Amino acid sequence: MSVESRNEANPGAEAGAGNAGIIAGTGAGVARTGADTSGAVAGVSGTTSARGGSGRSGRGPAWREAFTPRHLGETILTGYLPLLIALAVIVLPLVWMVIASFKPPGEIVTLTPTLWPQEPTADNYAAVADRVPLGRILLNSIIVTAVGSLIKVVLAITSAYALVFIKVRFKNIIFLGILVALMVPPEVALLPNYMTISALGGRNTLWGILLPGLGTAFGTFLLRQQFKTLPIDMLEAAELDGAGHWKKLWKIVVPVCAPAIATVALVTIVTEWNSFMWPLVITDTPENMTLPVGLNLLQSVEGQTGSYGYLMAGAVLVIVPVLIVFAALQRHIVSGLTQGAVK
């Protein structure tokens, strides 16, 4: 019980508080329970073939043990307490953002802030629209995200198919080339791409924002791994059933690998939506900016204090859509973003 007292001595500390307590308690938890281990990781291993879809069976009596009188204290101190602290640290800034976006300036520039807005207002959103062409910027972001993701995913699908299912020599050399491209961070190409796109007249255009990012090494790599797990018999059966490469791709491979493709698509969409550095470099007129770049502009034209209401409204616009998508489809997104971690 020394564990518990140590924890109590540190009640207000941050997420990392009471190290020994968390470790001790969890060690015990792992040893005792475990019927449900697959459920919690299902999100991570969603598309990694071996453990995919193992579901959340067995969420039965196993956890009840945590609430027996004997374990209740331990459960709260080493389970819920650290979790609550962590959740507070993670969630509070976002909640603060949403609330502030509905506060009038007087409630933001104050020494005695209240949690809820006293006079909730949507003026901040209107103010954002006053300062930057918000409709245009939102539309740009949506177009860039939609078109960019669509092209990237289609290219990833056809490339991965070609690399896995078309029998030609030297294709491994091409794959190696794509693998090396995977290691090149986009920042490295920033300056030369700026020169190329400028020379092509692509500054302050949507295609200029889109074009350099369309080649997809990440999606190709991820889908190739996935396609390789398909039974080759199935593809041969389709061939004997009279399906050429095009039909095999769209009628067999794509439907069967739909979950993995959805993962790649979601990760691509989120990445495109958040993309900042390249659009920042290639656009300088507000009408052609995407949302992150527009917000950067908004922040630089506003003085640091007093305008936080507008800035939080802007942040809500860029953050909340992704939060909604993530909440609905977190399984796919987490598995895509942690690829490679779970074998």
- What is the footprint of other proteins within residues 258-297 (CB under 8 A)? 258, 270, 273-274, 276-277, 280-281, 291-292, 295-296
Q: In this structure, what token pair is assigned to residue 339?
A: 């690829």
Report the distance separating Cα 193 and Cα 203, nearest Å.
11
Instruction: Considering the complex, state which of residue 147 and residue 217 has its C-beta at the smaller distance from other proteins.
Output: 217
Angle at 145 (CA atoms; ends 212, 200), nearest 5 degrees: 30
Q: Between 143 and 190, whose beta carbon lies closer to other proteins?
A: 190
**DSSP 3-state of 137:** helix
What amino acid is encoded at 154 in this protein? V
Please identify which residue in 8, 9, 11, 26 interacts with other proteins, judged by CB under 8 A. 26
For residues 186 and 277, is the Cβ–Cβ distance under 8 A? Answer: yes
Distance CA 55, CA 327 (A): 18
Give yes or no for residue 337 binding other proteins (CB under 8 A). yes
Among 52, 123, 256, 259, binds other proteins (CB under 8 A): 256
Residues 313/125, Cβ–Cβ less than 8 Å: yes
Footprint of other proteins on residues 66-95 (CB under 8 A)? 66, 75, 78-80, 82-83, 86-87, 89-94
Whole-angstrom distance, CA of residue 136 vs CA of residue 291: 9
Contact assessment for residue 296 and residue 281, using Cβ atoms and an 8 Å cutoff: no
Residue choice 72, 130, 171, 207 for contact with other proteins (CB under 8 A):
171
Alpha-carbon distance values, 303 to 106, 235, 275, 307, 317 (Å):
16, 61, 25, 7, 20
Number of residues located near other proteins, criterion CB under 8 A = 145
Based on the shown chain and the rule CB under 8 A, indicate whether residue 8 belongs to the binding site for other proteins.
no
For position 221 contacting other proteins by CB under 8 A, the verdict is: no
Q: Does 177 bind other proteins (CB under 8 A)?
A: yes
189 in contact with other proteins (CB under 8 A): yes
Residue 126 Cβ, how far from other proteins at the closest point, in Å?
A: 18
Residue span 33-52 as binding mask against other proteins, x where in contact by CB under 8 A, dash where not: xxxxxxxxx-xxx-------
- Please provide the size of the chain in residues: 343
Range 90-119, binding other proteins (CB under 8 A): 90-94, 96-97, 100, 108-111, 113
Does residue number 135 form part of the binding site for other proteins (CB under 8 A)?
no
Minimum distance, C-beta of residue 30 to other proteins, in the bound complex (Å): 5
